[in-house]
Amino acid sequence: MWLGIDTSGAVSVAVGRPSADGGIEILARRSDERARHHDEVLLALIDSVLADAGTQRGDLTRIVAGRGPGPFTGLRVGLVSARTLAAVLDVPLSGLCSLDALAHQALAETRDRGAEAAGSLLIALDARRREVYWARYAVQAGALVRTAGPAVAPPADVAEAADSASIVAGSGAQLYAEQLHPASALTHVDAGHLLAEAASQLAAGADLSSTEPLYLREPDAAKPTARKSALGR
């Protein structure tokens, strides 16, 4: 059994069972979209999704964590939890760019609708400060290939790339819809698609051993570089 955890925006958790063809069957998934509650809800969601799948922590054989990009605190909660569980259970830990997972989800949604095959996708998540975290993808032989990003930029700087993409999705695309023109209502990562895209990349020989967070910029809170005088001088 594999456990997927993503906290790049909403908190999303899923459990899946690997299949013989290198894919994965998602058995259960849960999410919580409340902002700034990651540390309060994550462990409870993990226990709930394991119960939904009729399994327990001792049955897990791999953990996949979303690396972001995303807010500093949210990513840290997800990645620390994933690393701790993997260490305690002595199972492999894989890290995947969260934008890759949302691209997988947007592509799957298009296929489920029977819509025309997508040639390219642009995923944009809200990065606050009037910016978006974004990446662009091409679809080659049915698989996703990231061709630009992940990066952080004002939506105006991403508009040209969005205009030429077949599918635009993500919370950032929704927030700046006039500039990015989203063709999908998807906003946050579903951990089931995190597992599915990780399984696809691992089957193709990708190295997903890094679980370093993709912050892309410095956290809002930073240590002062020089002492300030109490007298203001």
Q: What is the CATH number of the domain that holds 147?
A: 3.30.420.40
Is 73 part of any domain? yes
Do 83 and 39 share a structural domain? yes
Number of domains in the chain: 2
Q: How many residues are recorded in the chain?
A: 233
Is 122 part of any domain? yes
Do 197 and 130 share a structural domain? no
Do 198 and 83 share a structural domain? yes
Do 162 and 56 share a structural domain? no
Do 93 and 135 share a structural domain? no
Distances (CA, A) of 51 to 27, 37, 44, 123, 197: 10, 22, 11, 32, 23
Q: Are 133 and 70 in contact (CB under 8 A)?
A: yes
Is 118 part of any domain? yes
Do 111 and 54 share a structural domain? no
Is 208 part of any domain? no
What whole-number distance in Å separates Cα of residue 226 and Cα of residue 216? 24
Do 85 and 15 share a structural domain? yes
Do 142 and 80 share a structural domain? no
Q: According to the model, what pLDDT value does residue 37 have?
A: 60
143 HSE (CA, 13 A, CB side):
13
What whole-number distance in Å separates Cα of residue 183 and Cα of residue 127? 20
Name the pTM for this structure. Answer: 0.89
Do 75 and 102 share a structural domain? no
Query: Domain of 27?
Result: 2-97+189-203
Q: According to the model, what pLDDT value does residue 39 have?
A: 67
Do 11 and 88 share a structural domain? yes
Do 45 and 132 share a structural domain? no
Q: According to the model, what pLDDT value does residue 35 have?
A: 59
Is 53 part of any domain? yes
Is 223 part of any domain? no
Do 193 and 164 share a structural domain? no
Is 119 part of any domain? yes
Q: According to the model, what pLDDT value does residue 24 have?
A: 95
User: Which stretches of the chain score pLDDT less than 50?
Assistant: 221-223, 228-230, 232-233
Is 218 part of any domain? no
